[in-house]
Amino acid sequence: MLNSQINQSHSLHNLAPIRKAFVHGDTTNHSSSNAYSPANLRQHASTKKSNATRARSTSTAGNIKAISIPFLTKETTVKCVITVQPTISSALAGVSVGGVVDGVSDLLGRSFLLELVSNDLDSKGNQKTVKAYARYEALDFNINVYTYKCDFDVPEDFGEIGAVLVENEYSKKMFFKNIVLNNGVTFTCESWVHSKYDNPEKRIFFTDKSYLPSETPTALKSLREKDMESLRGNGEGERKSFERIYDYDVYNDLGAPDLSLDLARPVLGGEAHPYPRRCRTGRKMSSKDPLTETRTLLPFYVPADEDFSEIKSANFGAKALYSVLHAIVPILDSIVTDKDKGFPLFTSIDLLYNEGVNVPPPDSGIITALPRLVKGATDAANTVIKFETPETIDRDTFSWFRDEEFCRQMLAGLNPCSIQLVTEWPLMSKLDPEIYGPAESAITKEIVEEEIKGFMTLEEALAEKKLFMLDYHDLLLPYVNKTRDLKGTSLYGSRTLMFLTPAGTLRPLAIELTRPPSDGKPQWKHVYTPAWDATGAWLWKLAKAHVLAHDSGYHQLVSHWLRTHCVTEPYIIATNRQLSQMHPIRRLLLPHFRYTMQINSLARLLLINAGGIIESTFSPGKYCMQICSDAYDQLWRFDHEALPADLISRGMAVEDPTAPHGIKLTIEDYPFANDGLLIYDAIKQWATSYVNHYYPQANLVESDEELQAWWNEVRTVGHGDKKDEPWWPQLKTQDDLIEIASTIMWVTSGHHSAVNFGQYDFAGYFPNRPTISRTKMPNEDPTDEEWQSFIKRPEDALLKCFPSQIQATQVMSVLDVLSSHSPEEEYIGGNTEAAWEAEPAIKAAFEEFRERLNELEAIIDSRNTDPNLKNRSGAGLVPYQLLKPYSEKGVTGRGVPNSISI
């Protein structure tokens, strides 16, 4: 029977028509499909006659045909309101949606054709549907949405409504927010609906109620499969902007050999260079290299529902990033004639913050999009790009110079997920000594004990877990010689050794820099230690600058891009291809996937591409992405990406069932880990409640064919280059699913926030974190002239090693945008998804999740004022707030969005 909520007296109080007419047309506009006769003689809950002749439905949804119900039926009017979000351009222009075709559609009162689908089949096993055309009502300027309305004449025996099919009569795609019926049924869409002129297939939306595949109402099963099929594509053809096709491809579009053979790059993905997969675009292949896909000047294709540029403001992350990459970076490049020119003095660096850089006026829209960076016109011919002073330098101008801050930032800085415990001695390389020279480190027991004398012996330090290391030796050493062949850069393999003091802080002991054999020269390696003489002290400062450049590259290429952006794209693709709209796990993960594919496509367009920002401003240059591939091949494991497993894998924690989070930290005052574990535990508790609600028995996990297909595709296709690794988790029980989901949710929220939103605060003053070391160490095979120059003015040697003026300002511009929260940011635990609201148990679990996150704010504030926690509290220190859940807009150094939104 028809849901008892459907009756003629009900109205939806918040759906009153907005009395701002757009065009005049048919205002009654209620009808039924062929399944039920047109209701132009509608009577509320009245009995009506229909032709006894059966009429076949023209619905394209599934193979089941809807037929008319003969003789007598009782019908009830169900009112429907469709909310459509205007594109930015149409909202600014007024209320007009499109051209002549669209005007005719509105005039006729036929903007969209909607077809409700019952959860139940009729007595003959056929689908039951009713149709109605929606008419345009108004543009609500208060909430900036278009409103459309229609009435359905629904037979009393229709049953529960489970789906709606939508045909867009306009010539352009339209962004549907939701479809609300006055019987309590809601379809939350948040999706683009293509024009019927682009694709005749109707869009399918399901209600907010979630179903496992085995629980799907019989009449919706074919629609469930049809909807997923529509997203998979067939791996052929170039994708169009209106499409919502999710398919896989290798990273074969970073190079541009058609422009120059110097811009050719190897394909990432496959046996030679293992890598995660990206979304396929289908652009034609290069004429110079048949393995490389051609590039465009416009943003690359992403499925329509991943492209938010048409409905978000200019300050939205992807649009702001595009503005700085497409406009500000080229402007800076155009005004610097000498691309190799460095900063002559440290006071010259200070002028970037005090006075800024005069540039030709950009488009006015750029000033709107980047108000923090672009300060407006100084005169008719110039605009000022002026950088804000990063908080680290604002609080302590000389913090970047100090050894204790150098070490502290490995625990509470921008890249706190690389430091590892030293467990074996001597330190040994795993590289082939025939190619790279002797494997044993030059950091000897004697050097270590000289630095820690009075504390303990080397053996005691190892046994008591007091030695820690930043190890970029084996990852970088294979690229040292070829990187040095590039203009304006240098490279070493490096190891940095640190000691945990009784105060719980780290003290640097030694830095080892290594150059492999080359051109008949033997391996060169040197160990630098904190020194108490002028020459040794300056060499130590330069060695730190090299290590910081290595750490900056590793942070950007591995900790940030690879471990969050890059590995997540296959999760998004598999989720859309294998998990239905109505699948509860899709609805759990979806908030953590929003905006990521669009950001990733912009990265491929202008950041990680050949000659892009990363290659031109980071030490390995054109080899950056190959190093990223090596890191994926050698280091990345899904089972190590959850925070507790990550800490244990680096020796930074051990399992301890009696400890608050089930692990005991090796360094107790480790701000990233301390705060991150609070976030991770909250995520895991929320995932546990959610999964156990929908999967009360373990067999439901293993028998869920969509879920199993999803996890299989993640492993064997999206991460297919690692499909045979033994460490992939199984997916057989609720605990397996909880662990997998929690890992993905942590990576996209907490991990990404920790390595992203502090970028300007820590690297906006580039001496604190230079992205490149342009010169070799002064004591590596120097000429007499080079050595004397260093002895005379060591400060010049440091400035020459730092990034050039163009490199520094371009990186600072990009980091300013990457560190900024959009006004529309969606924070973890913030918005309740409509599908969660629809299920009382899930709604209650989410409220508990939100409360836990709110409690974290005060806990983190308390930690930052505790004088005993010296790695986060002290004179001139920036409080560690990167994992505080919430933030206002802008560059704040705090806030954890749900997803990788920038």
Q: Which residues are catalytic?
A: 560, 565, 752, 756, 902
Q: How many residues does the chain have?
A: 902
Helical pair 567-578 and 705-713, crossing angle rounded to 10 deg: 150
CA 507 to chain CA centroid, Å, is 34
- Strand bridging mode 71-85 / 145-155: antiparallel
Nearest residue to 579 (alpha-carbon basis) of 48, 67, 224, 173: 224
Q: Are 739 and 881 in contact (CB under 8 A)?
A: no
Structural element, H or E, at residue 761? helix 759-763
858: CB partners within 8 A, 6+ apart: none
Structure tokens that stand for 111 in this block: 């903007």
Contact 642, 742 (CB under 8 A): yes
Cβ contact 132:29 at 8 Å = yes
Spatial separation of the C-alpha atoms in residues 210 and 836, rounded to whole Å: 9
SS3 650: coil
Helix, strand, coil proportions of the chain in percent (round to 5)? 40, 15, 45
Residue in the structure block whose two tokens are 């997803």: 899
Per the rule left: phi > 0, alpha: psi between -120 and 50, beta: everything else, 245 is beta
Q: What's 751's DSSP letter?
A: I
Residue type present at position 652: M
- Dump the DSSP string for 579-607: S-TT-HHHHHHGGGTTTHHHHHHHIIIII
Eight-state DSSP code of residue 719: T
Cis amide leading into 426 (omega within 30) = yes
Instruction: Tell how strand 30-31 and strand 145-155 pair up.
Output: parallel
Rounded to a whole number, what is the largest CA-CA distance in the chain? Answer: 105
Structural contact between residues 499 and 506, judged by C-beta atoms closer than 8 angstroms = yes
In this structure, are residues 495 and 526 in contact, taking their beta carbons and an 8 Å threshold?
A: no
Inter-axis angle of helices 534-554 and 403-412, nearest 10: 20
The answer to whether the Cα torsion of 632, 635, 637, 642 is positive or negative is: negative
How many angstroms separate the CA atoms of 101 and 814, rounded? Answer: 42
Rounded to an integer, what distance in angstroms lies between the CA atom of residue 824 and that of residue 154? Answer: 39
- Of 519, 483, 477, the residue nearest 495 (C-alpha): 477
Instruction: Give the integer Cα–Cα distance in Å for 82 and 169.
Output: 14
Task: Give the whole-angstrom CA distance, residue 589 versus residue 594.
Answer: 9
Strands in 357-359's sheet, in edge-to-edge order, are 357-359, 382-385, 374-379
| 521 CB-contact burial (10 Å; exposed 0-12 / middle 13-18 / buried 19+) | exposed
Other beta carbons within 10 angstroms of residue 867's beta carbon come to: 7
Give the dihedral of Cα atoms 578, 579, 581, 584; nearest 10 deg: 180
Q: How far is CA 435 from the centre of its chain?
A: 38
Instruction: Give the integer Cα–Cα distance in Å for 43 and 153.
Output: 9
CB 300 within 8 A of CB 605: yes
Picking from 259, 266, 313, 280, the residue whose alpha carbon sits closest to that of residue 91 is 313
Q: SS3 for 67?
A: strand
